[in-house]
Structure 1
Amino acid sequence: MGSKVNKIFKNTVYLYGNTAFSMFVSLLSTRLILNALGKDDFGIFCIVGGAIALLGFINGGMAGATQRFINYAEGAGLKENKIKIFNASISIHLGISLISFVVLEIAFFLFFNGILNIPTDRIYAAKWIYQFSVLSTILTIQTTPYNALINAHEDLKYYSIVGFIFTFIKLIIAILIVYISTDKLILYGILTTISSLLNIIIVQTFCRFHYDECIFSPRKYFDKNIAKEMLSYASYAFLTTITSASSVYGGNIVVNNFFGTSINAAQGVASQISGQLMVFPNNLLMAINPIIGKSAGNKDYNSMIKYALTSSKLSFFILLFFAIPFILETNWIMSIWLKNIPEWAIIFCQLEVIRRLLDQLLVGLRNAINADGHIKYYSKIQSFLYILPLPITFILFSYGFQPVWLYISWILCLNIFASYNVIQQAHRYCHLNRKIFFTSLVSRCIIVAMIMATVGSFPHFFIGPSLWRSFLVGMLTSISFIISVWYLALTDIEKQIAVHIIQLIKSKIPFKNSTQS
């Protein structure tokens, strides 16, 4: 237990070490790019370049499938299979790249012949952005097996180093966009593609020098049975991720068709904000997920569910710590961050953060289900629920409903309705005790959130918008968060883990160590 906590702690420290810098630079970059491109061009990039985000979801799902097999093999003591799994993964992703290229090029003709609502004078630039997005997508897909290896080995110190490098590259891109006088939208597409190319070169080089199983020789190591098993698993994982991504990107297209690119700019801002806030829980999950996978390989369901519930609770609280003050102070924060706030951006940001919060309650259970491997029925139900918001929002918009209903339909279908399926499948295959799930996780998380929101509302409603009010909201919500989490939310075992982590932090402080010596 102690060694696993130490491993999680060290990996989390590596990941969070770069988070503050990454968030600052990303928010600054978004401000610079939005101001340089303008509201309409930024909206064009968000909707046309959404192919990157669409395939990014798919790429993440495939990375999870590959990592699941590597973790499972290591947990089951089948380390010799990892080379075969890696070769099968490379071969599968080459096929995915080819299929993706064909599908995206077919979609190109559909998008620019009646589907997308883009100003006539910007269609030429939009087409270039689309092609650069396709190239970036293909490059991103090819990094998937290598990212899976890094995650499976829990070598997350690498992520903090490379993350720092690419955060700096994002800042350079934003500065170049501001000061180079050319078509800034096309230039942005070129620079983001170059960034994707650098990423695959660095990732491949790192893996080849650090991992023995990183050998691509299909004639020697390709195993049809392993590839068939991976494809069977990946097909259902792919179904879930493609419908989830299609729901998000398809929703953007529906909004674009009814309301234009300016509303897509608001969606882009909301996506940037939620993406930065999600860095915190995602870092924790990246550190815990390999342990969940290895527990599944050992058939240790008690440990698997324990870590799954703990990861859900901690990821929820980490996001909640930032989410409540942000939701309360969105107006003031956005006015300071952006010169020109796109219409609907504020409410979009608030609803997107709420959606992400609800998602954290189930994230550990979803990871446990995927690690166990019984995902056929689960994936079919999830896929139906993920795609459901598209026809709903299309009908609503046809009757004159406002664009905010896209986010409301996402919350209803992707969070509330889908939660029943996740809980049922986790109970059936992962031995989840549903009573414990609701009493030790859901109810405690809701109580803490209500306390924070109530305490933070006092300065928000009784003091005018200002830095002082935002400071008070942040301070009061932080104090109420610490007290309520410790006394109302954490179990005795989780408190022991927290104390152990605090002791680890103290042991890493140079001044403390030198004083004791």
Structure 2
Amino acid sequence: MTTSENNKRIAKNTALLYVRMLFTMGVGFYTSRIILDALGFVDYGIYNVVGGIVSTLSVLNGSMAGATQRWITIALGKENLEYLKKVFTIGVTAQVIIGILVLIIIETLGLWYLYHYAVIPEDRMIASFWVFQISVFTMLLSILNVPFMGAIMAHEKMGAFAVFSIVDVVMKLVICYAVYITTTDKLILYALLLMLTYLINFFIQQIYCYKKFEEARFKMGWDKDILKQMWSLAFWSMSGNIAYIGYTQGITLLINLFFGPAMNAAASIASQAGNIINQFSSNFQTAMNPQITKNYAKSQFKDMHDLVFRSAKFSYFLMLIFVVPLFFEANLLLSLWLKEVPEHSVYFMRLGLFISMFMAVRNPLIVSAQAHGDLKKYQFVVIPILLLVTPVSYVILKLDGIPETTSYVMLVIIIIAVFASAYMLRNMVHLDFMDFVKRVMLKIFLVTIAAFLLPAMVYVLMDEGFLRFLILGSVAFLSCTISIFRIGLTSSERIFVVNMLKSKLPFFKK
């Protein structure tokens, strides 16, 4: 497949993922409000507590999912059908093993925690038990489905992935109505209907994979070497995920320790803006990640590096277009959303937006490391850097640092981790570190400075209000797009962007 064909596929897949995102986000906001109203605060809280207990081991399953998808993608890149069949079979076997382990742990430690530590009203314990069991079965379906979803992503069938997601969201919308009108126990019914949704999607995806992919057959097999390498990749990926949980939760605990729960609320509210912005880059990266891995499998390192640089840079630029107006109008937007804006939330939000952007820059580097497979040395360097967030923040807060100190520290360390990740890839995938600095990081900093200048002038010269928001948003969009095209992109990248726009916006051709 030529570079031009790959670019068209990436553009098409990105467009499909954005359609999926807009639909699922729109329906998701509505259903979350309706289900909260239908269940009430107590039952809704119980469901989240019980679901949280069950999902504690999702970090293991998520790591194994990444490993399985990596191996399927590598096999596709090598264009070896027999090897692909073997990899898929080993992936199924690995997930069955994980499912058994999760079932044993959850049904022992999970139930023990539910009955001894979970704060649940006595009259809702029976309902909580059944919700727990239903949630366990639902999670087992998710575990067994990993190789099939990995095959869909590795084959880059983003259209099918988008359809499955939309079907899932529509069924959840129907569930909300059913729960709202029922006279039976709403909590148990909600859990049962969600399980039914997962079950339907599970069988639909099984049938789709069976018909579309020759390797996708639900059977178990054993290959010691492949399974060992899968577990090794999953272990080191899990180490990175645990580190992420460690420093993010560490920051939460520090804020609580020094400033109390009200400041936790301010930080949590502000972080939601970063989570929304992340959606815009994650869809683009989801479309590009399989191509990065396939190029590694074919030893096409130049093409791989170009995709990594493009994914990192484009993700940042895509987020920057939204971040600039959000940065300046954070107070207004939070006021419209919350009515009463918690103290410090504006500053948390502004810093959180930049943290999200640089985490998006690092993601393609993580995909490259996973494509290589041996993460041991990479994680030994990067994880200790990330884990510095909590102790450094603690020292500064001890010295009377402000609450936002934690976000400043995290931003600086995430940027350091980006450089460290790129440096470690020199020997792993032959990535030129200085080339990454010049083509990605330098471009990012120059574009950011240029993009902020004109909106900053509008922000200073006008009073806060809806008019300034409209004018600043328009100026920010023009400032960002011009800066990105003139400073941030090469001529070939401009062509790539234009092709993406044409695929998403047919009228753009005219």
* TM-score interval, normalised by the smaller of the two chains: 0.7 to 0.9
Aligned ranges 1:206-225 → 2 under 5 Å: 206-218=208-220, 221-225=221-225
CA contact (8 A) 1:448 1:485 kept: yes
Distance 1:139 1:264, change over 3 A: farther
Which whole-Å CA distance do the structure 1 matches of 2:359 and 2:177 have between them? 34
The amino acid that maps onto 1:422 is S
Match of 2:494 in 1: 495
Match of 2:295 in 1: 295
Which whole-Å CA distance do the structure 2 matches of 1:265 and 1:21 have between them? 28
Distance 1:511 1:303, change over 3 A: closer
The amino acid that maps onto 2:365 is L
CA contact (8 A) 1:47 1:252 kept: no
- Encode CA deviations 1:117-155: one digit per residue, 9 max, x unaligned: x69789958888766655544333222211110011111
TM-score (norm 2): 0.83
Distance 1:425 1:463, change over 3 A: same
* Count of aligned pairs: 506
Distance 1:195 1:337, change over 3 A: farther
CA contact (8 A) 1:39 1:265 kept: no
Among all aligned residue pairs of Structure 1 and Structure 2, give the percentage whose two residues are the same amino acid: 27
CA contact (8 A) 1:43 1:261 kept: no
Which whole-Å CA distance do the structure 2 matches of 1:464 and 1:122 have between them? 54
Within the candidate set 84, 87, 97, 1:85 is matched to 87
- Encode CA deviations 1:291-314: one digit per residue, 9 max, x unaligned: 111111111111111111111111
Distance 1:266 1:237, change over 3 A: same
CA contact (8 A) 2:270 2:345 kept: yes
Distance 1:14 1:382, change over 3 A: same
Structure 1 position 359 matched with structure 2 position 362: no
Structure 1 position 106 matched with structure 2 position 119: no
The amino acid that maps onto 2:374 is H
SS at match of 1:18: helix
Post-superposition offset of 1:196: 3.8
Match of 1:422 in 2: 421
Post-superposition offset of 1:387: 4.7
The amino acid that maps onto 1:454 is L
Which whole-Å CA distance do the structure 1 matches of 2:350 and 2:42 have between them? 22
Distance 1:41 1:65, change over 3 A: same
Distance 1:249 1:433, change over 3 A: same
The amino acid that maps onto 2:484 is V
Which whole-Å CA distance do the structure 2 matches of 1:238 and 1:331 have between them? 37
CA contact (8 A) 2:65 2:150 kept: yes
Distance 1:467 1:100, change over 3 A: farther
Which whole-Å CA distance do the structure 2 matches of 1:224 and 1:463 have between them? 67
CA contact (8 A) 2:7 2:496 kept: yes
Comparing 235-244 and 358-367, the one that deviates more: 235-244
Distance 1:314 1:173, change over 3 A: farther
CA contact (8 A) 1:328 1:460 kept: yes
Distance 1:406 1:505, change over 3 A: closer
Distance 1:321 1:111, change over 3 A: farther
Post-superposition offset of 1:269: 4.8
CA contact (8 A) 2:78 2:297 kept: yes
The amino acid that maps onto 1:64 is G
Aligned ranges 1:42-53 → 2 under 5 Å: 49-50=51-52
Distance 1:510 1:311, change over 3 A: closer
Post-superposition offset of 1:290: 1.1
The amino acid that maps onto 1:238 is M
Aligned ranges 1:137-286 → 2 under 5 Å: 137-172=139-174, 192-218=194-220, 221-248=221-248, 269-270=269-270, 272-286=272-286
Which whole-Å CA distance do the structure 2 matches of 1:400 and 1:71 have between them? 50
Which whole-Å CA distance do the structure 2 matches of 1:436 and 1:366 have between them? 17
Which whole-Å CA distance do the structure 2 matches of 1:399 and 1:13 have between them? 48
Backbone CA RMSD of aligned residues: 4.1
CA contact (8 A) 2:14 2:283 kept: yes
- Encode CA deviations 1:433-477: one digit per residue, 9 max, x unaligned: 222212221121122223333333344444444433322222111
Which whole-Å CA distance do the structure 1 matches of 2:168 and 2:364 have between them? 28
Which whole-Å CA distance do the structure 2 matches of 1:396 and 1:111 have between them? 37
Distance 1:241 1:103, change over 3 A: farther
Which whole-Å CA distance do the structure 1 matches of 2:38 and 2:343 have between them? 18
Match of 1:454 in 2: 453
Structure 1 position 318 matched with structure 2 position 321: no
CA contact (8 A) 2:54 2:136 kept: yes
SS at match of 1:80: helix
Gapped regions of structure 1 (runs ≥ 5): 513-517
Distance 1:287 1:31, change over 3 A: same
Match of 1:515 in 2: none
CA contact (8 A) 1:278 1:319 kept: yes
Structure 1 position 476 matched with structure 2 position 479: no
Structure 1 position 26 matched with structure 2 position 22: no
